[in-house]
Amino acid sequence: MSSLYLKHVLVLQVMFFVSLAAFSGCKKNRSEPFSDINTKTVVIDNPIGSAEFSVEIADTEAKRARGLSDRTVLLPNHGMLFIFDQSGRHAFWMKNTHIPLDLIFFDDNFTVVGVFANAVPLNLAPIDMQKDSRYVLEVAAGSAKKYAIQENAKGRLVSE
C-alpha cells in the first residue's frame, strides 16, 4: 500500500474518533437536576416520625412532561414534586424513566390520598389512583415503605 493511502486512512480515522468524542458529550448527564427547576423540601409526617425529601419542582406543563425522564440516578431522599393548577385525576407513566419510583399523591391540603409503590421503569401502563390529587411526589422506590407513608399522612412544602 502506498504511504499516501495510509495517510488518508489515518486522517479519516482521526476525524471519525474526534467526531465521535464531540458527539458523545452532547447528551446531558440526566442524573443531575435540570438547571431551570427550583428545589424545595417536602416533609411528610407518618407514624414513625417524619420523612424529608429534597425535591425539584415541576410546576409547568413542560417540566411535568419532562419529569424524571432519562435519569439514571436518583439520590436517597430526593425526588420531584409535580404541582398542578387544580385538583383532578392525574395519571402518570414510566416512559423513558429508568429508575423504579414510588409515587405519592396529595390532595389540595397536602394530605396523602394514595401511594403507588415500586413503579416499574419504562412501563407504559398508566398510574392513576382513581382519586383527585393536586400534587404528586416521585421518590426512589421503597421510600414509602421505609418511611411508612400511607393514605391520610400529612405533608407540607417547605421553602428553602
What are the pLDDT digits (tens) for 5-30?
545 444 444 444 434 333 334 344 44
Among 2.60.120.1140, 2.40.50.100, 3.40.50.2300, 2.60.40.420, name the CATH number for the domain at 30-158.
Answer: 2.60.120.1140
Lowest mean pLDDT among 10-14, 32-36, 46-50, 68-72: 10-14
pLDDT of residue 138: 98
Domains in the chain: boundaries: 30-158
Q: Is the pLDDT of residue 160 over 90?
A: no
φ, ψ for residue 15, nearest 5 deg: -60, -40
112 in Cβ contact with 151 (< 8 Å): yes
Its pTM stands at: 0.78
**All residues at 6 or more sequence positions from 155 whose CB lies less than 8 Å from its CB, including other chains:** 42, 43, 44, 45, 104, 106, 110, 111, 112, 135, 137
With cut-offs at 50, 70 and 90, classify the pLDDT of residue 159: confident
105 vs 30, higher pLDDT:
105
56 in Cβ contact with 39 (< 8 Å): yes
What are the pLDDT digits (tens) for 114-157?
999 999 999 999 999 999 999 999 999 999 999 999 999 999 99
